[in-house]
Amino acid sequence: MRLAEKITMPKAVGAALPLLFLCSLGLPSGLAALDQQLVYRVRYDLATPSIIHVSLNFSAPAAAPVTLIMPRTVPGGYAQRPYDPFVAGVTAFNAANTPLDVKRDEIGPRWKIGKSGEQVSRVAYDVDVTRMEREILSAVDSSKIREGYVGLLGYSVLAFFEGWENKPLRLEVSGPADWPVLSTLAPRVPADKSSLTAQAAGYYALADSPILMGPKAQLRQIAGGVPLFLSVYAECDDDVAQDGLLAREALDRVGAYFGKTPFSHYTVVLEYLRPLSPRHEYNFSMEHIESGTFYLDTDHAITAQTGDRNRAEQRFNFAHHIAHSWIPKRAYGVGYLPFHWEMAPIIDTIWFNEGFGRYAAIEALAEADLSQEEGRRSRGRALDRLRGILDDAPEFIRRMSLTDLSREGSFLYSDDFRVGRNLFARGALMAAEMDDQIRAQTAGKKSLRDALRHIVDWCDQNHRAFRTEELPVIFREATGVDTSAILDRWMQPPLR
Ligand SMILES: [Zn+2]
């Protein structure tokens, strides 16, 4: 989903960036960006326990004025979720440490720093994370601070300078003495103590990377193929080893489905939280470029009493969000990238992001089942649940075209989860129908998996989003099968 699907009873459950991916994000290929670096310093100090201190430091002073922007929406968030209300005390200085003018925009999340002819060396501000968590009712969208634990979503605390989004960045994090600190940009276990440094190819990579710290963050590396790291913060009993096992299975199976892994490590960030208030919403998750944040209530913790069904749901939630590292992070329709951080973009293909991403996870797990028959049954149950969502939809949603529903979902995906559920259900059922047709017409030699692997390569090679009408063309290149009639039928209401 937002990369977040709701884990309801059936819960739903998102690298080192390869060079080609950097290109697809529109990052610079020239070396000019390398001679001046921007260093982000993130500091947490127990003297001000609800506040994160951030400073942006130019390695060589930059010409003023510069514009500092705080995100109001995030990739895969499908919502307007402003973080600028929690920023306070923006200050700026030149190389001589003389304060510069800082002018807050009256409406937008922008601060104009300095005047023409001046130079900017450093900009600093504070973020009130405790207030953020209190005021943002959707737990998946907020950073958390607890006694002994800090869990930060990069984009919720890190602003950027307009025009500097695509330049390489350095991150320096410092925390209280002896606290372990971890950035998903460069995870390590055992973690660094008290401070760390990491590099990011640009603002998107930096902002889409969580930062964890504190003695109550249980940090593990889970043995296996692609390096997998786990951070668990639990306000209840939880079996961290089981969490790790489920995440490992999910990562391995999704990786096998897509054939090659576009990241060199992956981090699962899990929080099991006691609800802050009855109005706060938990059990959504969010994919990031090389990590996923899973913010669940304590009822979802894995313990010795957890039944097979809930374990399977947890594994599916991991798999779904890990699948997002391919779809839509690497294969996406118009509107997804390059991302505009101030205003939620209108996206016509959320059914692809959420539906095809979901179907890939369903297939990845079904393929790995003990027997073909068992795999068919688990796929059948998953598709039945999706049909149930369409059957239960109110008439006005049933009559909406997939494009209209996706445009609504660009803002309302989880805020009115009827929109989100109907988007992923229609998309995944379309994917299933295409898969059946491809298998039938190729006598089982090809499947949708070949089409999805190809579209990941296609977006990478073309450095751009696909247009909806290009989808069957790209799929045909990989499979020889024309799926355009299936696409056309699903795009238009009413549903059959
Ligand atoms: Zn999702």
Instruction: Please give the distance, rounded to the nearest whole angstrom, from the Cα atom of residue 11 to the centre of ligand 1.
Output: 12
Instruction: Please give the distance, rounded to the nearest whole angstrom, from the Cα atom of residue 332 to the centre of ligand 1.
Output: 13
DSSP annotation of 248 reads H
Instruction: Please give the distance, rounded to the nearest whole angstrom, from the Cα atom of residue 414 to the centre of ligand 1.
Output: 10
pTM for this predicted structure: 0.91
Instruction: Please give the distance, rounded to the nearest whole angstrom, from the Cα atom of residue 60 to the centre of ligand 1.
Output: 41
> Which pLDDT does position 289 carry in this prediction?
96
pLDDT averaged over 10-residue windows placed end to end, the chain, 496 residues: 42 35 38 69 97 97 96 96 97 97 97 97 98 96 98 98 95 98 97 96 97 98 96 96 96 96 97 97 95 96 90 95 96 90 96 97 85 84 95 94 96 94 97 97 97 96 94 97 97 72
Long-range contacts of 380-387 (CB under 8 A, 24+ apart): 383/428, 383/429, 383/432, 385/10, 386/424, 386/425, 386/428, 386/429, 387/425, 387/429
Instruction: Please give the distance, rounded to the nearest whole angstrom, from the Cα atom of residue 314 to the centre of ligand 1.
Output: 14
Instruction: Please give the distance, rounded to the nearest whole angstrom, from the Cα atom of residue 294 to the centre of ligand 1.
Output: 12
> Which pLDDT does position 366 carry in this prediction?
87
Please list, in sequence order, all residues whose beta carbon lies within 8 angstroms of the beta carbon of residue 436, skipping any fewer than 6 positions away.
none
> 100: which strand partners?
none
Instruction: Please give the distance, rounded to the nearest whole angstrom, from the Cα atom of residue 12 to the centre of ligand 1.
Output: 8
Nearest Cα to Cα of residue 398 among 475, 294, 317, 492: 492
Residue carrying the six token digits 């997998």 = 228
The answer to whether residues 118 and 84 touch, using CB atoms and an 8 Å cutoff, is: no
Distance from C-alpha of 46 to C-alpha of 215, rounded to nearest angstrom = 13
Burial 342-358 (b: 16+ CB within 10 A, else e): bebbebbbbbbbbbbbb
> Which pLDDT does position 368 carry in this prediction?
75
> Which pLDDT does position 493 carry in this prediction?
74
Instruction: Please give the distance, rounded to the nearest whole angstrom, from the Cα atom of residue 288 to the centre of ligand 1.
Output: 11
Instruction: Please give the distance, rounded to the nearest whole angstrom, from the Cα atom of residue 100 to the centre of ligand 1.
Output: 43
Instruction: Please give the distance, rounded to the nearest whole angstrom, from the Cα atom of residue 293 to the centre of ligand 1.
Output: 12
Nearest Cα to Cα of residue 350 among 408, 292, 395: 408
Distance of CA 350 to the CA centre of its chain: 14
> Which pLDDT does position 33 carry in this prediction?
45
AA letter at 255: G
Instruction: Please give the distance, rounded to the nearest whole angstrom, from the Cα atom of residue 337 to the centre of ligand 1.
Output: 16
> Which pLDDT does position 371 carry in this prediction?
78
Q: What angle do CA 280, 282, 288 make, to 5 degrees?
A: 125
- Token pair, residue 427, equals 């998309």
Nearest Cα to Cα of residue 197 among 186, 212, 213: 186
Instruction: Please give the distance, rounded to the nearest whole angstrom, from the Cα atom of residue 284 to the centre of ligand 1.
Output: 9
Instruction: Please give the distance, rounded to the nearest whole angstrom, from the Cα atom of residue 417 to the centre of ligand 1.
Output: 12
Instruction: Please give the distance, rounded to the nearest whole angstrom, from the Cα atom of residue 31 to the centre of ligand 1.
Output: 36
Instruction: Please give the distance, rounded to the nearest whole angstrom, from the Cα atom of residue 355 to the centre of ligand 1.
Output: 8
Strand order in the sheet with 195-200: 87-93, 119-128, 51-63, 38-44, 169-174, 195-200
Instruction: Please give the distance, rounded to the nearest whole angstrom, from the Cα atom of residue 361 to the centre of ligand 1.
Output: 10
**Residues 27, 337, 8, 273: is their CA dihedral positive or negative?**
positive
Instruction: Please give the distance, rounded to the nearest whole angstrom, from the Cα atom of residue 54 to the centre of ligand 1.
Output: 30
> Which pLDDT does position 407 carry in this prediction?
96
Distance from C-alpha of 444 to C-alpha of 273, rounded to nearest angstrom = 45
The answer to whether residues 295 and 363 touch, using CB atoms and an 8 Å cutoff, is: no
> Which pLDDT does position 494 carry in this prediction?
65
Q: Checking DSSP bridges between strand 211-213 and strand 195-200, what pairing results, if any?
A: unpaired
> Which pLDDT does position 370 carry in this prediction?
66
Instruction: Please give the distance, rounded to the nearest whole angstrom, from the Cα atom of residue 10 to the centre of ligand 1.
Output: 14
> Which pLDDT does position 9 carry in this prediction?
35
Instruction: Please give the distance, rounded to the nearest whole angstrom, from the Cα atom of residue 14 to the centre of ligand 1.
Output: 7
Instruction: Please give the distance, rounded to the nearest whole angstrom, from the Cα atom of residue 470 to the centre of ligand 1.
Output: 22
Instruction: Please give the distance, rounded to the nearest whole angstrom, from the Cα atom of residue 165 to the centre of ligand 1.
Output: 25
Instruction: Please give the distance, rounded to the nearest whole angstrom, from the Cα atom of residue 268 to the centre of ligand 1.
Output: 15
Distance from C-alpha of 147 to C-alpha of 132, rounded to nearest angstrom = 16
> Which pLDDT does position 13 carry in this prediction?
33
> Which pLDDT does position 421 carry in this prediction?
97
- The string of DSSP letters for 351-400 reads IIIIIIHHHHHHHHHHHTSSSHHHHHHHHHHHHHHHHHHHHHS-HHHHTS
Distances from the Cα of 66 to the Cα of 104, 116, 161, 302, 341, angstroms = 12, 9, 7, 48, 17
The answer to whether residues 171 and 185 touch, using CB atoms and an 8 Å cutoff, is: yes
Near ion ligand 1, which residues have CB within 5 Å? 1, 3, 5, 354
- Token pair, residue 418, equals 């009827």
